[in-house]
Amino acid sequence: MSFKGDAQMDITSTKEKLQYQSNILENAADAIIATDLNFIITSWNKTAEKLYGWSCDEVIGKDIDNIVATVYPRCNRQTVMAQISKNGNWNGYVVQKQRDGTDLSIASALSFIKIPNNDVPVGIVAINRDSRDLITYDGEQSIKESLNSRLRVQASDIERLKEELKDLSYSVSHDLRAPLRAISGFAQIITRRYWDDLNEETQHFLNNIVEASDHMDHLINDLLAYSRLGHRTIRYQLVDLKELINQVLFILSDQIKETQARIDFPIPMPIIQTDPTLLHQIFANLIENAIIYRQPTLPPHISISHHTEAGHIVIGIADNGLGIPTRYHSKVFNIFQRLHQHDNYEGNGIGLSLVKKSVKLLHGTISIESNEKQGTTFRIILPL
**287 pLDDT higher than 90:** yes
Q: Tell me if 137 sits within 8 A of 146, measured CB to CB.
A: yes
Determine the Cα–Cα distance for residues 3 and 267; give it in Å rounded to an integer: 51
Q: Is the pLDDT of residue 129 over 80?
A: yes
Mean pLDDT over each residue of the chain, to the nearest integer: 79
Label residue 290 exposed, middle or buried (CB < 10 Å: 0-12, 13-18, 19+).
Answer: buried
Give CA–CA dist 109/127, Å, rounded: 5
More confident residue, 325 or 291: 291
Query: What pLDDT sits at residue 360?
Result: 87
Mean pLDDT calculated for residue range 197-211: 84
Q: Dihedral through CA 101, CA 102, CA 108, CA 114, nearest 10?
A: -30
Q: Which residue has the higher pLDDT, 281 or 329?
A: 281
> Which 3-state string (H, E, C) describes 97-164?
ECCCCCEEEEEEEEEEEECCCCCCEEEEEEEEEEHHHCCCCCCHHHHHHHHHHHHHHHHHHHHHHHHH
Residue 134's pLDDT band (boundaries 50, 70, 90)? Answer: low
Q: How far apart are CA 24 and CA 8, in angstroms?
A: 25
**Domain span(s) for CATH 3.30.450.20 in the chain:** 28-155
List for the chain the helix, strand, coil content (%; round to 5).
Answer: 50, 25, 30
Which contacts (CB < 8 Å, 24+ apart) does range 201-208 have?
Answer: none
266 Cβ contact partners less than 8 Å away, ≥ 6 residues apart: 304, 305, 306
In one letter, which amino acid is 323?
G
pLDDT of 147 higher than 80: no
Instruction: State whether CATH 3.30.465.10 applies to domain 28-155.
Output: no
**What local confidence, expressed as pLDDT, does residue 7 receive?**
44
pLDDT at 234: 78
| The predicted structure's pLDDT at residue 136 | 47
Output the pLDDT for position 377: 92
Domain with CATH 3.30.565.10 in the chain: 237-383
Question: What is the band of 11 on the pLDDT scale with cuts at 50, 70, 90?
Answer: very low
Please give the pLDDT value at position 170. Answer: 58
Identify the pLDDT of residue 271.
Answer: 92
* Residues counted in the chain: 384
**21-52 in b/e burial notation, b at 16+ Cβ within 10 A?**
beeebeebebbbbbbbeeebbbbbbebbbebb
In the DSSP assignment, the letter for residue 195 is G
d(CA 96, CA 176): 47
Q: What is the pLDDT of residue 4?
A: 45
CA atoms 58, 60, 63, 69: torsion sign: positive
Does 327 or 22 have the greater pLDDT score?
Answer: 327
Q: Is the pLDDT of residue 16 over 70?
A: no
pLDDT at 223: 65
Q: Does domain 237-383 have CATH number 3.40.50.150?
A: no
pLDDT tens column, 301-337: 999 999 998 889 999 999 998 888 887 777 777 755 5
Cα dihedral sign, 226-37-167-45: negative
CA 56/CA 49 separation, integer angstroms: 7
Name the DSSP class of 270. P
Per the CB < 8 A criterion, the answer to whether 233 and 264 are in contact is: no
328-367, pLDDT tens digit by residue? 777 777 755 555 554 555 555 677 888 888 888 888 999 9
- Measured distance CA(352)–CA(220) in Å, rounded: 16
Most confident of 123-137, 207-221, 286-300: 286-300
Residue 8: pLDDT band by 50, 70, 90 thresholds?
very low
Is the model more confident about 283 or about 342?
A: 283
Q: 355: exposed, middle or buried (C-beta count within 10 Å: 0-12, 13-18, 19+)?
A: buried
Condensed to tens digits (0 to 9), the pLDDT of residues 25-78 reads 777 788 999 888 888 998 888 999 999 999 988 998 888 988 888 888 777 888
| Bridge-based pairing state of the strands 121-130 and 103-114 | antiparallel
Ramachandran sector of residue 101 (left: φ over 0; alpha: ψ -120 to 50; beta: rest): left
- Cα–Cα separations (whole angstroms), residue 10 to 24, 27, 178, 216, 319: 21, 25, 12, 11, 36
Average pLDDT for residues 141-161, to the nearest whole number? 70
DSSP at 63? B
Q: How far is CA 111 from CA 78, 95, 120, in A?
A: 14, 18, 13
The pLDDT-based confidence of 286 (bands split at 50, 70, 90) is very high
pLDDT digits (tens, 9 = 90+) for 208-251: 888 777 767 766 766 666 666 666 677 889 999 999 999 999 98
Are 169 and 227 in contact, with CB atoms under 8 Å apart? yes
